[in-house]
Structures are given as C-alpha cells and as structure tokens.
Amino acid sequence: MTKMTVNRTPSDSFELSESLQKLTKGTGLVFIGQMIMTFFGFIGYVLIARHWTESDLGIYSLALTILSICTTFSVLGLTSGVVRSIAHSRGKNEIKKIPDFIAASIFYILITSIILGIILFFLSEEISLYIFNEPSLITPLKIFAIAVPFPSLINVIVSIFRGFDEIKPTIYFTYIFQSMLFPILTAGLILFNLAFINVFYVNLFSFIITFVLLLIYFLKTTSSWLKFTRKSLTSPYSKELILFSLPLLGTSVLGFILNSTDKLMLGGLKNAADVGLYSVAIGLAPFLSFPLSVLIIVFIPIFSGLYAKGLIEEMKRDYSILTKWICLASLPLFFIFFLFPEPIISILFGSNYIPAEFALRILSIAYIINNFAGPCGATLLAFGRSQFIMIATLASAIINIVFNALLIPPYGLIGAAVATGLAVISINFLRTWKIYSLGKIQPLSKNLIKPSLLSIIIMIAFYFATKPFLFFTWWILILLIILFYIIFIVSILITKSLDEEDLKVLYALEKKTGLRSNLIRKLITKFL
C-alpha cells in the first residue's frame, strides 16, 4: 500500500479520482438523509412498542411485511433495472433510449401495483385467518391494499432520478418528508389516545402525500424526457429494460424472502407477540448496515458508468476503500449491540422486549459480516450480472426458508435469527466470490484487517474489565458509543491503517467546508 510522506500537501496532485469524488459528495448528502430516515423510522417503531402491546407491534410488522411483498412484485425489478439502464446508456452516450426506459418503467409498475392492491384487498381475510390466525390483521391489510400503488410509484420515480445521478429527490421526499410524517402523525394518535387501527391510516396518508408532492416535482423537472406513447411502451428499448429487469424481479422477490421470511414464518408458526419481540431485534441490527445502504444509493450509477468505460482497475481500488469506510463506520456500533443488547433494548423499548437480546446478538454478527463483504450485490448489478444475482439470492432464500422451518418451532425468535444470519452470510459469500472471479475485486485490505483485530482485543478486554461495575442509563449508553468509536479511531492510527484516499477525503472536506484542523493533521501524519 502506498504510504504518504509527512511533508505532502494538498497541492501535490492531491486529488481524488472522479468516481470517488462523486461517491464522497453524494454519500455525504445521502448520509444526512438516511440518518433522518433511520431515526424517524426507528422512532415510529418505538412509539408503537411503548404505547401499544407486543402483539400490536407484531400485527403492524406483519402488515408492513405483506405490503412490502406486494410492492416488491409490483415494481417488476424495474426500480433497479431503470437505474442501471439509464446510467449505462448515459455512459455509452445512447441517450435516445432513456425516454422509453422512463415510460415503460412507470406504466408497467402502475398497472401491476393496481392489480396487486386489488388482489390483496379481496384476500386479506383469508391471509389473516388461514395463514396467521390473526383476525385483527384483516382491516390493516385492507388499508394497506389501497396503499400498494403509492410506494411502488414513489420507488420508480426516485429510481429514475438516481439513473441521472440525482439523489436529492430520494433524500427530500422519501428519506426526510415521508419518514418524518409517519412518526409525527403517530405521536398525534398517542396524544389524543386514538385506537391502534389509526396507525395504518396514518401510514396510508403518508404514502399518498409523499407521492403527490414527488409527482408534481417529477413532472416539472423531467417533462422533456417524458414520452408516453404506445410506440415507446413497446419499443426495442422498453423490451431491453424489461428483459434486463425481470431477473431482478426474481432477485427482489428472493431478496424479500431472504429478509422477511423470518417474520412471516414466525407469525405463522408462533404468534404476533413473537413477531413483535423479533421486530425489535430486526429493527436494531440493520443500523449496522446503515453506512452500506447509504453508499449503495450513489454507488450503482457511478460504478455502472465506470464499467461501461472499462475502468476496472479504478473499480477495484474504489471497492476496497469504500468497504473499509463502511466497516470503520459500523464496527464500534456492532460491539455495542453484541456486548450490551439487554440494556439497549430495555432503554429503548422497555423491559417487556428483553427476550429479544439473543436474537439481536445473532443478527448483529450477520450484518457486520455483510459489511465486511462490501457492496458486492451492487457491483454485480453494475457488471450487468442480474441472472447470477438472482441465482445467489435463490440459494440463500432456500437456506433461509429451510432453517426457519427447522429452527422456529423449537427455538422461536432465536431460531429465526439464526436462519436469517446463515442466509445473509451465504449470499455475501457467493456474491464476493463472483465479483472476484469477474474482475479480481475483493473487499478486504490489510488497512481494514489490522485496526479491526486490534479494536476487537481492546473492546473485549474493556467489556470483561468493566462488566461487574457498569450500570446503564441512556447517557451511559451514549458515552459508551462515543468511547468505542474513539477506541477504533485510535486503533486505526496505531496500526497506521490510513490510505491516500482517506487523507484526500479529509483535504477535500477541508476545502469544501473551509474548516482546517492542524491538530488532526499532526495526529494523522505522525501515525502514517
């Protein structure tokens, strides 16, 4: 790994590659939006958990999962396909294809989402009574059946913008507006002591308002690209998009099975209360994937463009650096979840949800392994390997279903967590193997491994040294999170695990913000 000399300055050809500049710029904006979305989405779950019962939270989680099934099928894989297709066409300078991509994606998603909404409405009673044995699920499913077209169309519209490297609509409309609207309205329900069923009407209302505002913005900003004619909907370019996206539909469905079978099978084999407990663990663990999910939003169109230009070496270097950033951002939080699950759950959700602690530990291991694999699925999409993505997801979905069926009856939510963990690990193994075979791209570097190992030793030693004396309040928890991040930063400096790109990002941020920290510079250069 190339080392930087102490006397080097930003003027010494100290520029990030164009792709890393785009990723750094875009990721910063997405990070803020995702932070807001994650925070308010989590607040919504906490409000439901604290004001209503574990069974109510389970009903809400099941209904939301079934809504997600409908939207997953209704988008036909086109939300991922249109991002890649628009970005790839721009990289190849095949601009004439883009209007047909836009028209086809919107039209076919509109039709399928309406059909699936109608089907869900009329089957809501059968689903509730014969699959989950939960009569109280009937009305929530009827309400969400009306909602199906709105999140589907929201997803495709923001995906079209992402194909043009425009992430602001995603951030402003879905990450910020919609995510804030739901918990605010839910807090109003609690304030006026309204019935639990109104939570579902609030969710429907937030989808409708977000869609209307996004549609107005879309029509104003993309009118020159809109061409809704019979010819555009049946053109060779539309067929090209459909053929590319259909395997992604299979991947999306299988990915949904991979991510949600645990809750569905837990609801079918156990009860809504168990789903409510499990929802706490499965709601916390994905916080570890927060940096990865932020990155993927801007990753796919940029890497698709690099691949179209044949810049594989730049992709390899960027992948390694980005994986390191993802892991550096999430590893300290992993230790908090793994070492202290009981106080975290108790402080946030209440003591009734403490039985979810072991499930949180298991899921945390799976999600941190997911981070160490890097954005492998998005990279395969950039390579155009949608069929392999589907095959890998199918294999992992089968693993998930089989182990859920075997482990949930005797072990409940712990069995569901083990099954999900095995599925997540298996799909990352397959995807990582494939991107290495295609372009020798691999996620791990010595500058990731060294600080990770050192921080593991330090944090485990800290845990056993302080366990007999440590008591928990919300402010102790915040201090621990800060302390663990400090430990990890020190581990990076001690092991001299900084790459040139890390310092380039620092200098780029200084240049952009006008803030300069000589102390940080001295510390960094001392440990290079």
Q: What per-residue confidence (pLDDT) applies to 321? A: 77
198 is a domain residue: yes
Q: Which two tokens stand for residue 234?
A: 């049946």
**Greatest mean pLDDT among 170-179, 314-323, 386-395, 511-520:** 170-179
User: How many percent of the chain have pLDDT more than 90?
Assistant: 26
4 is a domain residue: no
11 is a domain residue: no
Which amino acid is residue 208, in one-letter code? I
What is the pLDDT confidence band of residue 91, given thresholds at 50, 70 and 90? Answer: confident
- What dihedral do alpha carbons 343, 347, 351, 352 form, nearest 10°? -120
pLDDT at 7 over 70: no
10 is a domain residue: no
Per the structure, the count of domains in the chain is: 1
Please measure the distance between the N-terminal and C-terminal CA atoms of the chain and give it in whole angstroms.
12
Q: What per-residue confidence (pLDDT) applies to 169? A: 87
User: How many percent of the chain have pLDDT more than 70?
Assistant: 83
For 265-279, 444-458, 461-475, which range has the lowest pLDDT when averaged over its residues? 461-475
pTM exceeds cut of 0.85: no
Q: What per-residue confidence (pLDDT) applies to 525? A: 57
Q: Which one has a higher pLDDT value, 77 or 69? A: 69
What's the whole-number mean pLDDT along residues 62-68? 92
Query: How many residues are there in the chain?
Result: 528
Q: What per-residue confidence (pLDDT) applies to 75? A: 84
What is the pLDDT confidence band of residue 524, given thresholds at 50, 70 and 90? Answer: low
What is the pLDDT confidence band of residue 419, given thresholds at 50, 70 and 90? Answer: very high
3 is a domain residue: no
203 is a domain residue: yes
21 CB-contact burial (10 Å; exposed 0-12 / middle 13-18 / buried 19+)? middle
191 is a domain residue: yes
Listed residue (507, 496, 486) closest to 445, CA to CA:
496
What is the pLDDT confidence band of residue 245, given thresholds at 50, 70 and 90? Answer: confident
What's the whole-number mean pLDDT along residues 238-258? 74
Q: How many CB atoms lie within 10 A of CB 361?
A: 19
> Is residue 240 within 8 Å of residue 94, measured between CB atoms?
no
* Residue numbers of the domain that contains 247: 18-526
482 CB-contact burial (10 Å; exposed 0-12 / middle 13-18 / buried 19+)? exposed
pLDDT at 13 over 50: no
For 163-167, 417-421, 427-431, which range has the lowest pLDDT when averaged over its residues? 163-167
Q: How far is CA 24 from CA 20, 29, 450, 495, in A?
A: 6, 9, 24, 24
pLDDT at 113 over 60: yes
138 is a domain residue: yes
What is the pLDDT confidence band of residue 6, given thresholds at 50, 70 and 90? Answer: very low
